[in-house]
Structure 1
Amino acid sequence: MRGIGLADSKILVVKDENISSYGFGDDHPFGPDRHGAFHRYLTDSGISSLVHLAASGYIAVRADIERFHTNEYIDRVIAHCQLGKGFLDNGDTPAIQGLYESSLAVVGASLFVTEEIISGRFKRAFVPIAGLHHAKRDSAGGFCVFNDIGVVIETLRKIHGVNRIAYIDIDAHHGDGVYYSYEEDPNLIFVDVHEDGRFLFPGTGFPEEIGIGPAKGTKKNISLKPGDGMLYFRRTGLTFRLSLMILNRNFLSFSVVLIVYWVIP
């Protein structure tokens, strides 16, 4: 993965045809036009002139995704996607031809921006389509094939030597693939605000889920009820800051990489 320029104070935003193909068809809730719709809005609103647009230029390879996912699961994804039949989970995520390749592109884009931030070329980055936080180590979930967040976390640790990492998730759905993969990991600070799991997929992420074993107290799940407005959401901002201060109290002298995942409707 190569850098694209000198240090830039603008937010790096990926615009890449390789990730635009990630989706499950026109009639599926996760259709193929999300990437295009995002960038049309960026242009129409004038925001595109305020950010640094760049193609990723990196497609993840198997060695990348093996840092998080099991070999058996990767083999299953390849086999099912070659046939274009069946599901990669219990029925939410269909296997279609080309999905394996587009999934690698999404992971590659997340690794690309990670490299740009770690190198100091950019301070912040956003990847449309990425943040596939429902995929487990051994299974797809909720239209997510490979968990690019998990791959980034493992890459930061195994390649860059960054062990203590903070992750904030403010998607409406609980990031179960990330939470349960690191539920016993005390070095991953996890803060997630989402709609109450009693009302929305995946039905998890309750306030009492704060990590287990040595990780107890390093996780924070904040659930909002249907209809809670921006006032409630803004109040969680203070909760984020307090949570990070409390959960990170033993890590103040260490590097902490903050990953923020936010889906724009």
Structure 2
Amino acid sequence: MCNTAVFYGDNLARYGFGGSHPWSTERIHAFWRRLCSDRIDNMVVEEPEIATEETVLSFHDRQYVEMVKMASRQCRSIPLDRGDTPSFRGVFEAALYVVGSTLAALDMVMAGKDRVGRKIEHAFNPIAGLHHARRDSAGGFCVFNDIGVAIMQARQKYGVKKIAYVDIDAHHGDGVFYEFDGDPLLFFADVHQHGIFPGTGFAAETGAGKAEGTKLNIPLPAGAGDSEFIGAFSKMEEFVDGCKPELIILQCGADGLAGEPITDLQYTANAHAHAANSLHRLAHRHCQGRIIALGGGGYDPSNIGRAWTEVVRAFANGPG
């Protein structure tokens, strides 16, 4: 059994775009209701934390951060990308809470305890995993790339070298892939639906220059279900095992489950349970249990609840 930090609070719920936008502020509450109903032991609830602008700048360009800050002060919505990611009053601070909570998760798994001294082995931030944001722009509902910031901070603050980033969101994690395409110590493994936004993540994309072979992209066709996912994930598990990481980051978007409004995969929550259990074992094998999960996408409330609860259960129950 492993103590697992789970971040929850109104400051994380602030990250949402209102109206009919798929990324609503209700998403975290749908997860929380399901998680509480399942009564999982060894779960430690943590309050969200806000990041400093300085830490965000370890990944993002200053000009872009200043633009988000300006848009955040406006009363009217200003697109932060080509239209998918609108601004709203307070978006800057809301995005800082996403990044800050992911960085708090990093601090806890690296220290083995939380801010009040409770033992922590793993962590989950549900409103995080904003894998489409680039250093100089937003993208696909993602304002600041908390993953990119966490990778930079793991290296700068803790001296971590080999990091395995695993992404099971239905959409390819382009904001992580292309920003670290030439980084030979960032091992990237991504299974996603072929042909949807952002239109990247082809199997032939395996890393640039000295990083050739350190990236694994597995596109699946529309309609792929659990059996196809598990077949793909066996390759990802072998890939992560071979790189012997010092830290594992899992982006566990729930938008690959059947019934999602903007994707066409047909997973059940068993896919998330399988992925989380597999990576949990590898974390204990290679990196003293240091694994962080980030919620990512998912736009059907019941799917969010089922998938993310399975991730927390896998972490809290210990490696099988």
Q: TM-score, normalised by structure 2?
A: 0.75
> How far off is 1:245 after superposition?
3.6
Q: Which residue of 1 aligns with 2:223?
A: 227
Tell me if the contact between 1:88 and 1:140 (Cα under 8 Å) persists in the aligned partners: yes
Q: Tell me the matched-pair count.
A: 248
SS of equivalent residue, structure 2 residue 86? coil
**Is this contact kept in 2: 1:26–1:32, CA < 8 A?**
no
1:37 aligns with 2:27: no
Sequence identity, in percent? 42
The residue aligned with 2:284 is: none
Find the counterpart in structure 2 of residue 17 from structure 1.
Answer: 10
Indicate whether 1:124 and 2:114 are aligned.
Answer: no
- Per the TM alignment, residue 50 of structure 1 is displaced from its structure 2 partner at its CA by 4.7
Query: Which of the numbers 77, 86, 93 marks the counterpart of 2:68?
Result: 77
1:103 aligns with 2:95: yes
- CA distance in 2 between counterparts of 1:256 and 1:190 reads 14
Distance, in Å, in 2 between the alignment partners of 1:215 and 1:130 is 26
Q: Distance in 1 between matches of 2:70 and 2:37?
A: 41
The answer (yes or no) to whether the contact 1:170–1:262 under 8 Å persists in 2 is: yes
Number of the residue aligned with 2:46 = 54
1:151 lines up with 2:141 in the alignment? no
Report the counterpart of residue 258 of structure 1 in structure 2: 248
Kindly provide the amino acid, as one letter, of the partner of residue 116 in structure 1. M
Shift of 1:164: 1.7
Q: What residue in structure 2 maps to residue 5 of structure 1?
A: none
1:85 is displaced (CA, Å) by 3.1
Q: Supply the distance in 2 between the matched residues of 1:15 and 1:32 (Cα, whole angstroms).
A: 12
1:26 equivalenced with 2:25 (yes/no): no
1:239 corresponds to: 235
Instruction: Provide the rounded CA distance (Å) in 2 between the counterparts of 1:106 and 1:135.
Output: 13
CA displacement 1:65-116 (0-9 Å, x = unmatched): 0000000000111111211432111111111111111100010100011100
Q: Distance in 1 between matches of 2:27 and 2:237?
A: 31
Question: TM-score, normalised on structure 1?
Answer: 0.90
Q: Secondary structure at the match of 2:55?
A: helix
Aligned to 1:189: 187
User: For residue 267 of structure 2, what is the aligned residue in structure 1?
Assistant: none
3-state DSSP class of the match of 1:180? helix
C-alpha distance in structure 2 between counterparts of 1:159 and 1:186, whole Å: 19
RMSD: 1.4
| Alignment match, 2:164 | 166
The runs of 5 or more residues in structure 1 that have no matched partner are 1-7
Whole-angstrom CA distance in 1 between matches of 2:165 and 2:230? 18
Deviations 1:17-54 (A, max 9, x none): 1111100003111111011111011122333x452222
- 2: distance between equivalents of 1:67 and 1:260? 21
Bigger helix share: 2
Contact kept, 8 Å, 2:2 with 2:42, in 1: the verdict is no
- Structure having greater relative contact order (Cα 8 Å, sep ≥ 6): 2
The question of whether the paired residues in 2 share the 8 Å contact of 1:166 and 1:188 is answered with yes
The 3-state SS of whatever aligns with 1:222 is strand
Asked if structure 1 preserves the Cα contact closer than 8 Å seen for 2:6 and 2:44, the reply is: yes
